[in-house]
C-alpha cells in the first residue's frame, strides 16, 4: 500500500516505521521544516522520538500534495482539536478518492463533542465505512523500539477494520478488530482524563491506594459516558479501555500523567503546557467530557474535580477531599 502520514510527531513517526517494516511506501507530511531537516541529515526525529533510527525509505516532506499522491491509506496523526482544519487541506491535495482514513488521535472535539472519526466524516465528507480508529495501550517510545504491543482497529465496516489490521500487524504489534467505534475512540480519549488524575495523585503525594481507586472508579465513569454515547460496555474492559487506562496512568512516557503530576506539585497548567514539546490531549478532552456529562446529566465526579483543578484553580487536596466525602454509594459498573 501507499501510506500517507499526516503529522510527524512521536506516534506518527513510530507508525511510519511500523508501516515501512511491512513494506508499504510511506510519506510523512509535516509543517515543521526542522523535523524534515533532522530526518534527512541525522536519520532520526530528535524532537519527538530521539534515539530512534528512521529507515531511509520513509520520506518526510512539507509538500502535502506529494505526501498524499497515490495514497491508498491516510493516517491522521495530528491532535484532535486541529483535525477539522487539516482534513479539508488533505482532501484538496488528493488526486483521487476512495482512500481508507485512519485516525490515531485520542480526543473529543471541543464544543461539538464529536469523536475524531465523526470530525473526519463531517469535515471531509468521507463515508464512515472508509474510516477507522486505531487505539490502545501503545506509547510511541516503545512501539518504535519493537516492544510487544497490542492495539485495536475499529470501523463501522469490518472490511475496513481488517484492512487496517493487515496494514499495521507485525510480530511486535498485534492488531485486533472491532466494530464498536464509539467505544474504542471514547476509551482512548477519556482515559487521558483519568491519567491526569493519576498524575495529580503522584504529584500531590497520595498513595497507591488512591491511584487504584481513581483508576477503577475512573473506568466506571468512562463506561458510563461511553454507553450513553452508543458504545458497548465490554469495550471498556478491553485494550482501548482498561488497557490504555493502565499504561497511561502508570507509564513514565505518559504526557497526561506528567501534566497531572506537575499540577499536583503546585505548578500552573499554562506553565506546564508552555514547556511541553508534545500535546497532552487530556486537557482539552477534560473540557469536552465535563460539558458533555453536564448536558447528558451523567455523573462523572472524577472528571468534574479534574476540570475544577485544571480550569478553576481548585487545589488537588480539596478536590480529593470532595471526592472522598461524597454521599455513600453502592459500587456499580454503569
Catalytic residues: 191
Whether the CB-CB separation of 107 and 195 falls below 8 Å is answered with no
At a CB cut-off of 8 Å and minimum separation 6, what does 81 contact?
107, 109, 110, 284
Count Cβ atoms within 10 A of the Cβ of residue 89 and give its class: 0-12 exposed, 13-18 middle, 19 or more buried: middle
User: What is the SS3 assignment for 179?
Assistant: coil
Sign of torsion, CA 136 138 143 149?
negative
User: What is the SS3 assignment for 17?
Assistant: helix
* CA-wise closest residue to 256 among 311, 154, 188, 182: 188
Q: How far apart are CA 105 and CA 133, in angstroms?
A: 8
Whether the CB-CB separation of 71 and 275 falls below 8 Å is answered with no
Backbone angles phi, psi at 321, to 5 degrees: -60, -40
**8-state DSSP, 300:** -
Q: How far apart are CA 46 and CA 39, in angstroms?
A: 8
**What is the layout of strands, in order, in the sheet containing 149-154?**
59-61, 25-29, 2-6, 73-76, 100-103, 131-135, 149-154, 173-178
- State the virtual CA torsion across 43, 49, 53, 54 in degrees, nearest 10: -70
Q: Which three cell numbers stand for residue 146?
A: 519493537
User: What is the SS3 assignment for 76?
Assistant: strand
Amino acid at each position: 500500500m501507499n501510506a500517507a502520514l499526516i503529522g510527524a510527531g512521536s506516534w506518527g513517526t513510530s507508525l511510519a516505521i511500523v508501516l515501512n517494516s511491512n513494506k508499504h511506501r510511506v510519506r510523512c507530511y509535516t509543517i515543521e521544516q526542522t523535523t524534515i531537516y533532522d530526518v534527512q541529515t541525522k536519520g532520526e526525529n530528535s524532537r519527538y522520538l530521539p534515539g530512534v533510527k528512521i529507515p531511509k525509505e520513509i520520506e518526510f516532506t512539507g509538500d502535502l500534495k506529494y505526501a498524499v499522491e497515490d495514497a491508498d491509506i491516510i493516517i491522521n496523526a495530528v491532535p484532535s482539536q486541529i483535525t477539522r482544519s487539516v482534513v479539508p487541506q488533505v482532501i484538496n491535495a488528493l488526486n483521487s478518492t476512495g482512500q481508507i482514513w485512519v485516525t490515531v488521535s485520542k480526543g473529543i472535539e471541543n464544543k461539538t463533542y464529536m469523536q475524531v472519526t465523526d470530525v473526519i466524516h463531517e469535515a471531509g465528507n468521507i463515508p464512515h465505512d472508509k474510516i477507522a480508529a486505531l487505539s490502545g495501550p501503545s506509547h510511541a517510545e516503545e512501539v518504535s523500539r519493537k516492544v510487544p504491543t497490542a492495539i485495536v482497529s475499529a470501523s463501522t465496516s469490518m472490511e475496513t477494520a481488517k484492512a487496517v489490521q493487515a496494514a499495521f500487524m507485525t510480530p511486535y504489534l498485534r492488531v485486533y478488530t472491532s466494530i464498536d467505534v464509539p467505544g474504542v475512540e471514547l476509551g482512548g480519549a477519556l482515559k487521558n482524563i483519568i491519567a491526569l488524575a493519576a498524575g495529580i495523585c503522584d504529584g500531590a503525594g497520595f498513595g497507591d491506594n488512591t491511584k487504584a481507586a481513581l483508576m477503577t472508579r475512573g473506568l466506571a465513569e468512562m463506561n458510563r459516558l461511553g454507553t450513553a454515547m452508543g458504545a458497548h460496555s465490554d469495550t471498556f474492559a478491553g485494550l482501548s479501555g482498561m488497557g490504555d487506562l493502565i499504561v497511561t496512568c502508570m507509564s513514565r512516557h505518559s504526557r497526561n500523567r506528567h501534566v497531572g503530576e506537575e499540577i499536583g506539585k503546585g505548578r500552573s497548567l499554562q506553565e506546564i503546557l508552555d514547556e511541553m514539546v508534545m500535546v497532552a490531549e487530556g486537557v482539552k478532552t477534560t473540557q469536552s467530557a465535563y460539558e458533555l456529562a453536564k448536558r447528558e446529566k451523567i455523573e462523572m465526579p472524577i472528571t468534574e474535580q479534574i476540570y475544577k483543578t485544571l480550569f478553576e484553580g481548585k487545589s488537588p487536596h480539596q478536590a480529593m477531599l470532595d471526592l472522598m466525602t461524597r454521599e455513600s454509594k453502592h459500587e456499580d459498573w454503569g
